[in-house]
Structure 1
Amino acid sequence: MKEYDFLIVGGGAAGFAAALRANELGVKTLMVNRGPIGGTCVNVGCVPTKYILTALELRKRALKHHYAGMVLREERFDFGELLNGKDELVKFLRREKYEEVLESLDNVDYISGSAGFKSNREVLVNGEKVGFGKALIATGARARILPIRGVEKARGRILTHVEALKLKDVPESVVIIGGRAQALEFAQIFARAGAEVTLLQRSVRIMPQAEPELAIELEDILSQEGINVNTSVRIKFLERMGDGVKVHAEVGERESTFEGEYLFFATGREPNTEGLGLENTDVKTDGKGFVIVDKTLKAGENIYAAGDVIGEPMLETVAAKEGFTAAGNALEGRNVEMDYRAVPRVVFTDPQLASVGLTDGDAQKVAKCLCSTVEFSNVPKALITGEERGLIKMVVDARTKEILGVHILAHNAAEMIHEAGMMIRNRMTVDEVTDTLHVFPTMSEAIKLVALSFKGDVSKMPCCAM
């Protein structure tokens, strides 16, 4: 029986970060991965979806560019060609950022296949026994399809993000169940590619955990693009209709039906824990199957877990940080705790919805807070580029003036949110932000403007205030 000091089950962001740390420490490590190397993000998540979203955004701007009154004619659009470009990028990054990285790790062996724990010290890898000292579970999660009545009969017309990224032609129509990041991103992908899109969200608004002002503004923008957004929806059952699906639902108190060529489920994720043999270890899972860990990511006596398999926040950057931290704790005997206080999140719609820290509602539970919201029409660079749609909101502790949260709906909000993340991580105050020089004209100047708005009306200030 082969023996390893460290076993990593999973080959995504968490697993690779752990492998890098183990290699640095000179620890004899085995990584076992089932499926494409690189996990969700590079294969069927962040990379392919953002590639498509960016291409469609650039196409939209080219079709009707308002700068200097110029209008460009529409060029031939081939959705299949766009997806071929996506496939080539995925293949390139999988090779450059995962396969070649793995080949460079002297202390890490890799096996493609399945792993099942027999105990806290032994695992079966493709049917062969392997012993280990410490282990990390980083098997990720997959799209969840709700068990709605009629779902089995509609199987041939059901999509998740995995199947959607394999389409070669634009569907005539798509009904999307969900109203959070993935639902909104794919709604805009399909709509801008030419499909008729209907969005069904059970909450009273899309992005229910986001700041209401920003979520409502984004909903209006998506509706203006032709996306049929429905909220307060309760799905009753599905009906297969020839080459499509009919959704029977209640919208508020009204009976409604929605039809589409495809039905897209953007209804959360479920963990990849089945078949791992966790019942043979001291590792526990919650009611949804996610691995339970403590603040140091410890799941059992000598087993740790990281990434989507432990639940929210399910973000690639968080998974990598968790994997790196878990490996250090496991192999160096450390007890470093994860700090989720300043985790930035982005919905890559156009405009983008980015946030970090506490919302107004969350902050009110822990402190007396102040909030201020500024429209991007007050930001000179937004007017220069014609990207004045959107808002920025800052949440501040009323007593200490410490910044608790920043929320942005704007073009390139994803590029701006990092400054806000550093502000929150370093517990900066509003006064410290207003005392910081920003480049003019830039979109990120909005962060200084919203800080200045606690002192006065920014619409009454000159371009370069203070």
Structure 2
Amino acid sequence: MAAKTYDMIVIGAGPGGYVSAIRGAQLGLKVAVIERENLGGICLNWGCIPTKALLRSSEVFHLMERAKEFGLKADNIGYDLNDVVTRSRKVAGQLSGGVKGLLKKNKVDVIMGEATLPAKGKVSVTTAKGVEQLQSANIILATGARARELPGLEADGKRVWTYRHALNPPHMPKKLLVIGSGAIGIEFASFYNTLGADTTVVEVMDRVLPVEDADISAFAKKQFKKQGMTIMEKAMVKQLDRSEGKVTAHIETGGKVEKIDFDTVISAVGIVGNVENLGLEALGVTIDRTHVVTDAYCRTGVDGLYAIGDIAGAPWLAHKASHEGVMVADMIAGLAAHPVKPETIAGCTYCHPQVASVGYTEAKAKELGFDIKVGKFPFIGNGKAIALGEPEGLIKTIFDAKTGELLGAHMIGAEVTELIQGYVIGRKLETTEEDLFETVFPHPTLSEMMHESVLDAFDRVIHM
């Protein structure tokens, strides 16, 4: 049977793949998208979305426990973990169904199956009905990534979990070890700790949330400890001894190994790209540490073959994948394209308190040779934060002293994952400190702290 021909074939229907497919269809291209598991990918089904649903439940539970502070009465407060998880799965299911509807509306052919690239411009898909042959001059790899598993620390789904098990847990942890304090690790630590698990976080680097600005990491650690977490930095889990009902972790700190018993372990030590069994090496694609090497335009070096999202390397963020997908679809359709710059992409972590950032940290800005001005403003100085009962937080801004360019913004506190977009837009529009001085922020809002942090960088702060 002759191969079916498309203008563009996308392998993977996560936030990079399905968005790219829709954009291609909007531009009049004939598009197919291939998915082996769930439309919406890891993000919608087993990542960003269901974790936020879980964290919302723990946030509401936390507020219920604080009812008295707000003049309210709530007795016999509790939760049903199965119901919490069921809500999370329903939210994920609703959005995955939404993606299916969007692809159908845009007349994108959806093929459920496993793809390989037998030759340049060719795709072979193994489906439930057999093997389909497709061809296109433009193929986009959007196969995403999966949890990294370290030797000896592999998940078993019973007592040692990856994020997938943590999203649909077989039991409620009583004594929990989380290995890794990046976004995934710290979000699960926050969720289970809030619901009452005795939680320990082990981080191999010298601070939690190691990609964040040092001031934010320090503030976060203080808050996590106040919430009852045990934080172990410059520490490494060397071994896990598994037995019925418990796991003994061998944790090395300062050259000494300590054995501690836990009933549950979550491993969150990074991700690896889904590059296997696609036939990439035979095509001449360069793979570096499980990620496809690309240029700024997501080109792999093999004519007509692109890679977007997690498979193409850091930052491993859904919104980065989506924008890369749109950029590549535009290029294929002959439109002008603008590369996605990593330093313009915001990172958000939905622990309690929330963390968000964009641009350079203070240390990175200095390393790059900038003469900088730094402003900080605490949540305790903001009327809305106090009224909300959320006075713990900090906003930090970093400027180029010579040009007034906003180099970076870093936040910790209530709703900062929503606030950060103001600074993202500011960076995109090449806003200077003068522009921000003259911008009128509404009162009373948390956003006023963004203004005050900018003012503080130039010794003009009002409310501190």
* TM-score clears 0.5: yes
Q: Which amino acid aligns with 1:32?
A: I
Q: Alpha-carbon deviation of 1:208?
A: 1.6
Q: Does 1:271 align with 2:288?
A: no
Of the three residues 90, 93, 100, the one matched with 2:92 is 90
Change in 2 beyond 3 A, CA 1:112/1:8: same
Change in 2 beyond 3 A, CA 1:153/1:94: closer
Q: Alpha-carbon deviation of 1:340?
A: 2.7
Match of 1:119 in 2: 119
Change in 2 beyond 3 A, CA 1:99/1:335: closer
The CA deviation string for residues 397-455 of structure 1, in whole angstroms up to 9 with x for no partner, is: 01112211111111000111011111111121222212111111110100111112134
* Partner Cα separation in structure 2 for residue 349 and residue 335 of structure 1: 35
Match of 2:171 in 1: 169
Is the deviation greater in 47-56 or in 423-432?
Answer: 423-432
* Partner Cα separation in structure 1 for residue 70 and residue 340 of structure 2: 49
Change in 2 beyond 3 A, CA 1:384/1:76: closer
Query: CA contact under 8 A between 1:136 and 1:327: conserved in structure 2?
Result: no
Match of 1:296 in 2: 297
Of the three residues 387, 396, 407, the one matched with 1:384 is 387
Q: Which amino acid aligns with 2:21?
A: A
Is the deviation greater in 12-21 or in 60-69?
Answer: 60-69
- Report the TM-score, using the length of structure 2 for normalisation: 0.94
Query: CA contact under 8 A between 1:175 and 1:199: conserved in structure 2?
Result: yes
Q: Does 1:142 align with 2:146?
A: yes
Of the three residues 43, 46, 60, the one matched with 2:45 is 43
Instruction: Give runs of aligned pairs for residues 298-337 of structure 1, distance below 5 A.
Output: 298-299=299-300, 300-332=302-334, 334=336, 336-337=338-339
Other structure's SS at 2:311 match: helix
Other structure's SS at 2:292 match: coil
Q: Does 1:416 align with 2:457?
A: no
Match of 1:128 in 2: 132
Q: Alpha-carbon deviation of 1:67?
A: 4.6
Match of 2:446 in 1: 443
Change in 2 beyond 3 A, CA 1:105/1:325: same
CA RMSD of superposed structures (Å) = 1.8
Q: Does 1:346 align with 2:348?
A: yes
Match of 2:196 in 1: 194
* Partner Cα separation in structure 2 for residue 417 and residue 335 of structure 1: 25
* Partner Cα separation in structure 2 for residue 246 and residue 168 of structure 1: 19
Q: Which amino acid aligns with 1:431?
A: E
Q: Which amino acid aligns with 1:120?
A: K
* Partner Cα separation in structure 2 for residue 161 and residue 410 of structure 1: 24
Q: Does 1:245 align with 2:247?
A: yes
Other structure's SS at 1:332 match: coil
Q: Does 1:402 align with 2:402?
A: no
Q: Which amino acid aligns with 1:426?
A: L
* Partner Cα separation in structure 2 for residue 444 and residue 360 of structure 1: 21
* Partner Cα separation in structure 2 for residue 25 and residue 397 of structure 1: 40
Other structure's SS at 2:134 match: strand
- Structure 1 unaligned residues grouped into runs of 5+: 462-466
Match of 2:433 in 1: 430
Q: Which amino acid aligns with 1:248?
A: H
* Partner Cα separation in structure 2 for residue 308 and residue 327 of structure 1: 17
The CA deviation string for residues 248-283 of structure 1, in whole angstroms up to 9 with x for no partner, is: 121123321222112211111101110111123132
Change in 2 beyond 3 A, CA 1:333/1:120: farther
Q: Alpha-carbon deviation of 1:75?
A: 2.5
Change in 2 beyond 3 A, CA 1:365/1:27: same
Q: Which amino acid aligns with 1:58?
A: V
Of the three residues 56, 78, 86, the one matched with 1:76 is 78
Is the deviation greater in 323-332 or in 415-424?
Answer: 323-332
Q: Which amino acid aligns with 2:112?
A: S
* Partner Cα separation in structure 1 for residue 236 and residue 343 of structure 2: 33
Match of 2:235 in 1: 233
Match of 1:464 in 2: none
Instruction: Count the aligned residue pairs.
Output: 456
Query: CA contact under 8 A between 2:385 and 2:446: conserved in structure 1?
Result: yes
* Partner Cα separation in structure 1 for residue 335 and residue 451 of structure 2: 43
Other structure's SS at 2:343 match: coil
* Partner Cα separation in structure 2 for residue 221 and residue 14 of structure 1: 34
Q: Which amino acid aligns with 1:3?
A: T
* Partner Cα separation in structure 1 for residue 334 and residue 106 of structure 2: 19
The CA deviation string for residues 339-361 of structure 1, in whole angstroms up to 9 with x for no partner, is: 33321111101111110111111
Q: Alpha-carbon deviation of 1:193?
A: 1.8
Q: Which amino acid aligns with 1:291?
A: V
Is the deviation greater in 402-411 or in 207-216?
Answer: 207-216
Q: Which amino acid aligns with 1:415?
A: E
Other structure's SS at 1:31 match: strand
Is the deviation greater in 432-441 or in 69-78?
Answer: 69-78
Q: Which amino acid aligns with 1:237?
A: Q
Is the deviation greater in 2-11 or in 405-414?
Answer: 2-11
Other structure's SS at 1:179 match: coil
Other structure's SS at 1:199 match: strand
Query: CA contact under 8 A between 1:122 and 1:129: conserved in structure 2?
Result: yes
* Partner Cα separation in structure 2 for residue 348 and residue 154 of structure 1: 26
Match of 2:359 in 1: 357
* Partner Cα separation in structure 1 for residue 154 and residue 389 of structure 2: 47
Is the deviation greater in 325-334 or in 33-42?
Answer: 325-334
Q: Which amino acid aligns with 1:281?
A: L
- Structure 2 unaligned residues grouped into runs of 5+: none
Query: CA contact under 8 A between 2:179 and 2:266: conserved in structure 1?
Result: yes
Q: Which amino acid aligns with 2:395?
A: I
